[in-house]
Amino acid sequence: MSAAVDRYLALQKELVLPGRGLSWIDALRNEGAHHFKDVGFPTMRDEDWRHTNVRPIQKREFTLGNSAQDELDNDSLSKSALTGLDAYRVVFVDGRYCKALSSLDGLPGGVTVESLAAAVAADTDEVRETLGSIAPKHRSGFIALNTAFVDDGLYLHVDDDCVVDKPIELVFFSTDTAEQLIQPRNLFIFGNRSSVQIIEHYVCGQGSVYFTNAVSELLVQDSAVLQHTKLQEEGDKAFHVGGVFMHLQAGAQVVSNNIALGSLIGRTDLQVALKAEGASCDLNGVYFANGRQHIDNFTQVDHEKPACKSNEYYKGVLNDRARAVFRGRVVVHQDAQHTDAQQQNKNLLLSADAEVDTKPQLEIYADDVKCSHGATVGQLDEAAIFYLRSRAINEATARSLLTYAFAADLISRFSIPAIRSRVESVLSSKLFGGSQMEQLV
């Protein structure tokens, strides 16, 4: 066991966390601590992490500091706000719920929104039975670390037949407190035939070194319709490890948008389990990286029952010495006949020094299925550039046009205009300095 693991375990014993003394939450945290003690931080010898080195995270002595939310105001948040977004807003500052900065006026009566800390302390049957039951306890040391420190985050419950009229945006704002460990834990429960759009938005102040280790668990019940967007815009010195884990019941329909734009090292684990017949999911992912950014996406879709559908489409654009990793795993279980599972990953390298490791993967244990997967890695077509230049378009603009064309079909899948606008803006500024492409989008 490493010194870093010892230090976090010692810290966990010292803290008085919400609900302490309740047997079930104490047992959940202790299970996380024991597993973290056993496995520690993942290494590049672990197959699921073989292309991502987390030693820069492990060697820093991150601390759980006090939130600076009393010093934060709406002006600080407005700098990172999604332009033109009409949404209910729930704000967390350094991982802790901030009611004063949240805006929930007009929220339908069938929606319960409160801090996870309050939900744990209330000790309801629903929270007791669901929290920790969806995120796989032994997936990685990072999930175990988050579980050992279950503290605050969002608890959201949407009643049966409730239709939420506009998106619910969760803003996880990190202040400029350096060397801070922020560990949100979110629990979402969507009732039968409910309909809602959720945005998890991770942003920062001036870009100090900090570490976000977030876990979200989502239970999507019969015939519920959910659009879940994770927008990661951490600071350029920050580290972000996130896990989004979903269970879909009969007839549930989920659209997952996973957008990775920020952080020095960013990793998202997305796991969807189709638990009953007729469930379906569309997984859209986009990642842009420049400088020495490292963006890692690990996805897994488990087709556990018959007649379920999944469609996964991820695209990445990399410049400079950036590196990306995509590993997508689709498992069709033995009883999952009539499965329809499609998966694609496409990557565009704008620099000879950029690199991507991609591995789409199918595991099929049923014999009546329709499945496909594929991956591409390439650079801009010089013939296409020459064609545009022959039409009096300069080279920089030609490259911008072709890059935008590559990303546009995926960006168009984001149904919320404010999300599309932010992604286009970041594509412009990160990869082209905000010059040529701003005229195109």
pLDDT at 166: 96
pLDDT at 434: 56
pLDDT at 397: 87
pLDDT at 15: 87
Domain boundaries, the chain: 3-276, 381-441
pTM for this predicted structure: 0.94
pLDDT at 175: 86
pLDDT at 383: 95
pLDDT at 433: 65
pLDDT at 133: 96
pLDDT at 74: 65
pLDDT at 43: 93
pLDDT at 382: 93
**Local confidence pLDDT in tens for the 441 residues of the chain:** 588 899 999 988 888 899 999 999 999 999 999 999 999 999 999 999 999 999 999 999 998 866 555 556 666 677 778 989 999 999 999 999 999 899 999 999 999 999 999 999 999 999 999 999 999 877 799 999 999 999 999 999 999 999 999 999 999 999 877 889 999 999 999 999 999 999 999 998 777 899 999 999 999 999 999 999 999 999 999 999 999 999 999 999 999 999 999 999 999 999 999 999 999 999 999 999 999 999 999 999 999 999 999 999 999 999 999 999 999 999 999 999 999 999 999 999 999 999 999 999 999 999 999 999 999 999 999 999 999 999 999 998 899 899 999 999 999 999 999 999 999 988 887 766 655 445 544
SS (H, E, C) the chain: CCHHHHHHHHHHHHCCCCCCCCHHHHHHHHHHHHHHHHHCCCCCCCHHHCCCCCHHHHCCCCECCCCCHHHCCHHHHHCCCCCCCCCEEEEEECCEEEEEEEECCCCCCCEEEEEHHHHHHHCCHHHHHHCCCCCCCCCCHHHHHHHHCCCCCEEEEECCCCECCCCEEEEEEECCCCCEEECCEEEEEECCCCEEEEEEEEEECCCCCEEEEEEEEEEECCCCEEEEEEEECCCCCCEEEEEEEEEECCCCEEEEEEEECCCCEEEEEEEEEECCCCCEEEEEEEEEECCCCEEEEEEEEEECCCCCEEEEEEEEEECCCCEEEEEEEEEECCCCCCEEEEEEEEEEECCCCCEEEEEEEEEECCCCEEEEEEEEEECCCHHHHHHHHCCCCCHHHHHHHHHHHHHHHHHCCCCCHHHHHHHHHHHHHHHHCCCCHHHCC
